[in-house]
């Protein structure tokens, strides 16, 4: 399937410009994010569509640098135990896709291998056993990331965050037992400029034309 760089030319629409400029950023400046900005970004997430308009998402915002780092290390520990049980192929494949490190890189040596030094982490939860919650939260998170970019901030979705519920420090998030962490979005002022990756373009199929 053909891949190519996609960019609108010229960019005259602000929404499209933000969509094309957003990147997954994994290096952040040591600058805190104003609480008001975080609330505005979450408000944008609240505007996402949801099944039967149930708005199942809840947001748990963490800005304590030490706790963020400690949670990241515990997440690595508990997730790797699960990967070991599932076999070496799954370990390599999952580590490669979720952590985005080069093959063979020793991520245990990093200070913050999950949350990448971001000054704020927004854990997004949904009700357990709700078949639509993951879809709703995905759309919510995308709204948040685009809003953040429009406000001069950078983000990255962290799928690995779902393992936080298995850590010893999880109770510090005060998430009720009826909810589960589906996704986290890290937030801050980026200290890198990731390149634009190619996208698959031969995956549109017009029916009955």
Say yes or no to pLDDT of 107 above 60: no
**Residue 203 resides in a domain:** no
How many domains does the chain divide into?
Answer: 1
CA dist 114 and 31 (Å) reads: 18
**By residue range, what is the domain housing residue 122?**
24-192
**Residue 197 resides in a domain:** no
| The dihedral formed by the CA atoms of 87, 88, 89 and 94, expressed in degrees to the nearest 10 | 90
**Residue 41 resides in a domain:** yes
**Residue 199 resides in a domain:** no
**Residue 205 resides in a domain:** no
Tens digit of each residue's pLDDT (9 = 90 or more) over 30-50 = 999 999 999 999 999 999 999
Tens digit of each residue's pLDDT (9 = 90 or more) over 3-18 = 776 765 566 789 999 9
CATH number assigned to the domain comprising residue 129: 3.40.109.10
Say yes or no to pLDDT of 188 above 60: yes
Q: Would you place residue 81 in the very low, low, confident or very high pLDDT band (cuts 50, 70, 90)?
A: confident
Whole-prediction pTM: 0.86
**Residue 87 resides in a domain:** yes
């Amino acid at each position: 399937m053909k891949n190519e760089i996609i960019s609108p030319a010229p960019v005259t629409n602000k929404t499209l410009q933000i969509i094309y400029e957003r990147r997954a950023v994994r290096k952040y400046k040591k600058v805190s994010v104003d609480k008001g900005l975080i609330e505005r970004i979450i408000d944008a997430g609240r505007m996402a569509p949801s099944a039967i308009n149930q708005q199942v998402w809840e947001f748990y915002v963490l800005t304590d640098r030490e706790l963020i780092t400690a949670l990241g290390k515990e997440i690595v520990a508990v997730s790797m135990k699960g990967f070991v049980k599932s076999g070496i192929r799954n370990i390599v494949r999952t580590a490669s896709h979720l952590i985005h490190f080069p093959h063979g890189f020793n991520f245990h040596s990093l200070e913050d291998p999950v949350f990448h030094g971001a000054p704020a982490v927004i854990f997004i939860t949904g009700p357990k056993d709700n078949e639509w919650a993951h879809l709703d939260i995905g759309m919510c998170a995308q709204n948040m990331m685009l809003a953040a970019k429009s406000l001069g901030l950078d983000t990255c979705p962290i799928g690995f965050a779902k393992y936080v519920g298995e850590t010893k420090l999880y109770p510090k998030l005060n998430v009720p037992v009826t909810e589960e962490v589906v996704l986290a979005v890290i937030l801050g002022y980026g200290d890198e400029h990731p390149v634009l990756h190619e996208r698959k373009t031969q995956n549109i199929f017009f029916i009955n034309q």
